[in-house]
Amino acid sequence: MIQMKNVIKKYPNGIIAVKGLNIEIKQGEFAYIVGPSGAGKSTFIKMMYREEKPTSGEIRVNGTDIAQLKDKEIPFLRRGMGVVFQDFKLLPRKNVYENVAFALEVIEEKPENIKKRVSDVLKLVGLAKKANMFPDELSGGEQQRVAIARSIVNTPKVVIADEPTGNLDPETSWEIMRLFDEINARGTTIIMATHNKEIVNTMRKRVIAIENGQIVRDERGGDYGYEF
Ligand SMILES: Nc1ncnc2c1ncn2[C@@H]1O[C@H](COP(=O)(O)OP(=O)(O)OP(=O)(O)O)[C@@H](O)[C@H]1O
C-alpha cells in the first residue's frame, strides 16, 4: 500500500534528512520506525501524508505517486489515512465527541452517519462515557485515545503515528499500544515511529531502523536494537 523508491529529502537549510529510501509496506502490516534522534524518522513519516514533499523519488500510496500531488489534492490523500501525534493535537474548545465528529464534518459526511460512527469509535477506545468532556479535563492517555478515535473514525486503510506514547507513562503507553494492536487486528495498516524499547521488544512487529537518513535494518519480529 505504501512504496518508496529512491526518496530523498533535502530541507531548505541544506540538511539532507532522508538519503535514498526504498521500502514497501503492505496493507495490514504493523511497522515500527526506530532509530536515533535526528535520524530522519519524522521526515520519513511526514512524507507519507505529504506534510513534507520529497526532493526527489517516488512515494506511492495505493498506487498514486503522492510526491506529484498538487496541494489541492492533498485533502483527498488524507481522507484515506489517519495521523496520530505525540502531543495529541486536539481542538481545546471542542469536547471529545466534537473533536472526533469534526474529522467527518470536514469531509462532509452525512450528519446521520456521523453520530453512529463517532459513538462506535468512542466505544472502541473506551471513552463512550466521556463524550461530553473537554481535552483539558482528560488524562494524557485519554487525550491520546480521543486522537486515535479521530484518526480511525473515517475508517482509513492506514494510521500513521509519530511517537504516540512519547508523552505518556509506561502503563498508559501499554494501553495505547494495545489499542493500536486491536485496530491493526481489524485490518488497518499501522506505521509508527517510536523510541519505546520495551514495547518494541515485547509487542513484536516489523522493525524498520533508520540511521542518518537511511534504512539500516528491516526485520519482521525484530527487536528495538538500541540502548536509548
Ligand atoms: N523543517 C525542517 N527544516 C530543516 N531541517 C529539518 C526540519 N525537520 C527536520 N530537520 C532536520 O532533519 C534531520 C532529521 O530530522 P527528523 O525530525 O526527521 O528526525 P527524527 O529521527 O524524527 O528525530 P527524533 O527521534 O528526535 O524525533 C535532523 O537533522 C533535523 O534537524
ipTM: 0.97
* Confidence tier at 113 by pLDDT (50, 70, 90): very high
pLDDT at 60 over 90: yes
For the chain, what is the mean pLDDT?
Answer: 96
pTM of the full predicted structure? 0.95
Beta-carbon neighbour count of residue 57 at 10 Å? 18
Worst-scoring range by mean pLDDT, 72-81, 125-134, 159-168?
72-81
Give the whole-number percent of the chain exceeding pLDDT 70: 100
Please report whether residue 27 resides in a domain: no
User: Is residue 160 situated within a structural domain?
Assistant: no
Distance of alpha carbon 191 from alpha carbon 111, whole angstroms: 30
pLDDT of residue 13: 97
Question: What is residue 183's predicted lDDT score, i.e. its pLDDT?
Answer: 96
- Beta strands 189-193 and 158-162 are parallel
CA-closest residue to ligand 1 atom 16: 40
Q: Which range marks the domain in which residue 120 is found?
A: 91-154
Within-domain flag for 85: no
3, part of any domain: no
Total domains in the chain come to: 1
Would you place residue 99 in the very low, low, confident or very high pLDDT band (cuts 50, 70, 90)? Answer: very high
228 has a pLDDT exceeding 90: no
For a pocket test of ligand 1, which of 7, 10, 15 has the largest count of ligand atoms closer than 8 A to its C-beta? 15
For 140-198, the pLDDT digits (tens) are 999 999 999 999 999 999 999 999 999 999 999 999 999 999 999 999 999 999 999 99
pLDDT at 37: 95
Displacement of CA 120 from its chain's centroid (Å)? 20
Residue 8 domain-assigned (yes or no): no
pLDDT at res. 45: 96
101 part of a folded domain: yes
**Which residue's C-alpha comes closest to atom 11 of ligand 1?**
17
Q: Average pLDDT for residues 7-29, to the nearest whole number?
A: 97
Q: Write the DSSP assignment of 134-184 as a string of letters.
A: -GGGS-HHHHHHHHHHHHHTT--SEEEEESTTTTS-HHHHHHHHHHHHHHH
What is the sign of the dihedral through the CA atoms of 184, 225, 87 and 172?
A: positive
Name which of 198, 200, 195, 220 is nearest 35 in CA terms.
195
Q: Ligand 1, from 7, 21, 42: best to mutate by most atoms within 8 Å of Cβ? A: 42
pLDDT-derived band at 209, boundaries 50, 70, 90: very high
pLDDT band at 90 (very low <50, low <70, confident <90, very high): very high
- Ligand 1 binding site (Cβ under 6 Å of any ligand atom): 11, 13, 15, 17, 35, 37-43
Q: Which residues contact 86 (CB under 8 A, 6 or more apart)?
A: 162, 163, 164, 166, 167
Q: Give domain status of residue 9, yes or no.
A: no
Does the pLDDT of residue 206 top 90, yes or no? Answer: yes
Q: Is residue 194 part of a domain?
A: no
